[in-house]
Structure 1
């Protein structure tokens, strides 16, 4: 989820990169969370800190979970909300992280926005923006930029059963809506990448949108708008180097992995394998984009080469992958385990100098 600012190669160099596979199956190291029935929806790093957030699925309820990586182990932290889920986390430093999602009271049918802040000692719930229609609202993604917090997701639309995309910016005192007809028509916004207050990108259920400080516009994707295109993750290296991943509905494969790249002027589609799969997250490793997601058979990993993306070995023990991040010379992934009843959180040592590896 998933603003990935990293010192790396230019976009041109990325296309020419070949190199070895990111990691063999045996190169992955699982790091047990110690939490039963955990769904880790997001993993993110920043300022030397690493967090994963999600929820415990009790079958009758969801309970928010946030765990930080301390001395080689995952350490869970008390949560201010007893019921709900955390969908994403943005990490600035060890003493400054933001998590968003949805909360509800026992017996309630509809969720409300959940926003939390880590101050280095504890998570504190932060009042979210006031919505005209709150029941059924949820933040799916959060990012920080220039002292501001950006959050996006969905809320009930004007008619029964409809949904609108929502985007808000928080300056530490108040929430400001950054919404118009284009952002509302995005339905479900899964990722946000604010490069500045006037240069913000979102990946949504129905494409990519850009905010220029005045309003939102649809990105001019190859082939034009299509209800078959679904975007899930962004990695924004600079205004002229942005990656977006997701899937395209396919009559034969059902869902085919999809990658777009923006060079500052135009969006282009990057070749992917003719597989059945979908991508949820993308990060840069040594200047190469690496995307993770799921296939009908379990985890799905792709790495950029000189001719497009190629399949990578599945991490042993992993199932569906929801999120990834890069920090300290490691590519971290989070999702379900292969047995589907437990979490999988693990890493691969990449030999990346620490100066080149940043999270988010």
Structure 2
């Protein structure tokens, strides 16, 4: 069963067959070409993002157990046969987003926690860290003097090597103020604060396009031209949609993925695509699902990952959409061992990576970190 969509959206969905090649048999519903490459010591961990660049693949997240309360940040590097976990600059915290410009220019953002007394922890503060090819180090951002409650949600690297970091803080009056910083690729401390009024209430991901445009998604889509932000006009039926992932194929081919609340399904998967003139809806199954990220394989076909909390849709919780026989995005692949999936990326060989939690979640919490690669 599929949603009834406007003609423009239906035409776009049918056009996927032409864009991504002739109709082909769907991948096997249980596995397909996915290989489980989860870290061997990932119990109590979850991974939120994965990125690849020039042969280097990284994944970030958190670990939670009796020795790491409340959390310990996790950053893993793929060696070709397994994962390495270099020492972290913060003993307690979490890493939520990752960006890589080169093997020795990797950035991650999240939250750092400090102990308060013997049993309590503070509310946390912004954590930005940089990998220089040998070690991770924490990088300070020029938040205003007196800022409190600092936080960071996302980081991006553009083709010139500049680093973009988005977050916020509470000012002296206790009001929340969004913040956008741009820094040099070498992490030398030359940071510029730029306008951060995206027109969105929150930002989940940034993407720096090759043409110099910065894009943000959250409770909508917005673009920054270097001077000001412009919130994008989306199809009216998507009023209230929330987006977690964005991917640019070209200036006239941009995709954003997320979900929208649904009275019957709770959360329904949503995908929009920009064709150079307008954002249009891409057809998705009418079933319970939430999308977090999108990548394109070596053939240019989209792979969209997320989660479902409906065991009738997928008992393990993973949710993957790829083009089916008619060109529509359908749920035809299930990475073995996967539970909820939060990140996706494509490496130089055209392989798609995804990360999240392993199958067997109880109460919404996965028992361990999951990583998979699609051959």
- Normalising by structure 2, report the TM-score: 0.82
For the pair shown, the structure with the greater C-alpha radius of gyration is: 2
Please list the CA deviations of residues 171-216 of structure 1 after superposition, one character each: whole Å capped at 9, or x if unmatched.
24322223243x2x52321111111574111011x11011122201
Please list the CA deviations of residues 120-170 of structure 1 after superposition, one character each: whole Å capped at 9, or x if unmatched.
11111111231466443322221111120012234447875x755433211
Please list the CA deviations of residues 52-87 of structure 1 after superposition, one character each: whole Å capped at 9, or x if unmatched.
111112373111111101131101110011111111
Query: Are 1:329 and 2:350 an aligned pair?
Result: yes
Given the superposition, is the C-alpha separation of residues 248 and 191 from structure 1 closer, same or farther in structure 2, using an over 3 Å criterion?
same
Deviation at 1:93? 2.4
Please name the residue that 1:6 is paired with. Answer: none
Please name the residue that 1:267 is paired with. Answer: 279
- Normalising by structure 1, report the TM-score: 0.85
Please name the residue that 2:270 is paired with. Answer: 258
CA distance in 2, matches of 1:170, 1:17: 44
Query: Are 1:299 and 2:318 an aligned pair?
Result: yes
Show the 5 A alignment for 1:81-230.
81-107=90-116, 108-131=121-144, 134-145=147-158, 146-156=160-170, 163-171=176-184, 172=187, 173-181=189-197, 183=198, 185-196=199-210, 198-204=212-218, 206-223=219-236, 226=239, 228-230=240-242
CA distance in 2, matches of 1:29, 1:304: 20
CA distance in 1, matches of 2:52, 2:16: 23
Structure 2 gaps of 5+ residues are 1-14, 312-316, 361-365
Structure 1 gaps of 5+ residues are 1-9, 350-360
Given the superposition, is the C-alpha separation of residues 121 and 209 from structure 1 closer, same or farther in structure 2, using an over 3 Å criterion?
same
Please list the CA deviations of residues 215-243 of structure 1 after superposition, one character each: whole Å capped at 9, or x if unmatched.
011101011773x2101000112211110
Deviation at 1:119? 1.1
Contact 1:17-1:288 within 8 A present in 2 as well: no
Match of 1:14 among 16, 19, 30: 19
Contact 2:340-2:357 within 8 A present in 1 as well: yes
